[in-house]
Amino acid sequence: MISNTHLRFTLFLVLSVFCSCSSSDDENKNNMTPTESLPPEATVLVFPEKDEKCNQGDIISTAQSKVTFKWNTSSHTDSYTLTLKNLETNETTENDATTNSLALTISRNTPYSWSIISKSNETTDTATSETWKFYNAGEGNENYAPFPAEVLTPTMGANVDQRLTLSWKGSDVDNDIASYEVYLDTTNPPVTLHANTTDSKINDVALSPATAYYWRVVTTDENGSSSQSPVFEFKTK
């Protein structure tokens, strides 16, 4: 027969082991480091190609075609947002996708820019790709108007010295830009022609102090086709 003393001793050992295990488990749980969510990485664009004419896709009408945008998959990413901008109207749309391609119906004979935002379900951090421009081809088009010029300096809304350099970036799928007309004024939109040049900058522009200025660039190619940039703004000190 087992004595009461022996039973009490056995029970004590069991309780000791149980408490020890529970305490160890709780301690391990408290010491566990939470898993850190990695931010998504920026993707690489594939198609439509940079600064090229796009003549692929399904033609819907003389005015529209369906183009499939493609990009590489990016790490730590659950979904994508394709930002598409019509460079003639400056209208921007955002289009969500869960794969690395998306078909959109867009206007023909129209310049666009596009980029991809990578997103994750585990974090609010995002990553944005480069922005590419392309020209969605039109029916029977042999010459394409230049892309609207992009501002370089001064940046939009900048506060600058009274003497400065105006600079911009022009591009054309036909590589036949002939000249730039630069309009500079204190009214919006600017109507005063400041210069007609083949260069992509104007140095040492003299301006009045404490004044808001507006400027834009009209790009013309060798076939007489032209495009007009958005209006850029800056202020002098």
In a domain, 9, yes or no: no
Asked if 154 and 231 sit in the same domain, the reply is yes
Of 136, 159, 183, which residue sits at a domain end? 136
In a domain, 30, yes or no: no
Kindly report the three-state secondary structure assignment for every residue of the chain.
Answer: CCCHHHHHHHHHHHHHHHHHHHHHHHHHHHHCCCCCCCCCCCCCEEECCCCEEECCCEECCCCEEEEEEEECCCCCCCEEEEEEEECCCCCEEEEEECCCEEEEEEECCEEEEEEEEEECCCCCCEEECCCEEEEECCCCCCCCCCEEEEEEECCCCEEECCEEEEEEEEECCCCCEEEEEEEEECCCCCCCEEEEECCCEEEEEECCCCCEEEEEEEEEECCCCEEECCCEEEEEC
Asked if 118 and 157 sit in the same domain, the reply is no
Burial 75-91 (b: 16+ CB within 10 A, else e): ebbeebbbbbbbbeeee
In a domain, 142, yes or no: no
List the CATH number of the domain containing 167: 2.60.40.10
Residue 10 is predicted with a pLDDT of 52
Asked if 132 and 51 sit in the same domain, the reply is yes
Going by C-alpha positions, the residue among 163, 166, 170 that lies closest to residue 182 is 166
Asked if 91 and 154 sit in the same domain, the reply is no
In a domain, 6, yes or no: no
In a domain, 206, yes or no: yes
- pLDDT tens for the chain, residues 1 to 237: 445 555 455 545 544 544 454 544 555 555 555 567 899 999 999 999 999 998 888 999 999 999 999 999 999 999 999 999 999 999 999 999 999 999 999 999 999 999 999 999 999 999 999 999 999 998 776 788 999 999 999 999 999 987 899 999 999 999 999 999 999 999 999 999 999 999 999 999 989 999 999 999 999 999 999 999 999 999 999
In a domain, 19, yes or no: no
The whole domain housing 68 covers: 45-136
Residue 18 is predicted with a pLDDT of 47
Of 112, 136, 160, which residue sits at a domain end? 136
Asked if 98 and 152 sit in the same domain, the reply is no
Report pLDDT digits (tens) over 162-213: 789 999 999 999 999 999 999 999 999 999 999 999 999 999 998 999 999 9
In a domain, 185, yes or no: yes
Asked if 200 and 230 sit in the same domain, the reply is yes
Of 136, 171, 188, which residue sits at a domain end? 136
Asked if 129 and 165 sit in the same domain, the reply is no
Q: Cβ distance 103 to 127 under 8 Å?
A: no
Going by C-alpha positions, the residue among 15, 58, 153, 41 that lies closest to residue 100 is 41
Asked if 115 and 155 sit in the same domain, the reply is no
In a domain, 18, yes or no: no
Strand partners, 84: 93, 114
Q: How many domains does the chain have?
A: 2
Asked if 167 and 190 sit in the same domain, the reply is yes
Residue 27 is predicted with a pLDDT of 52
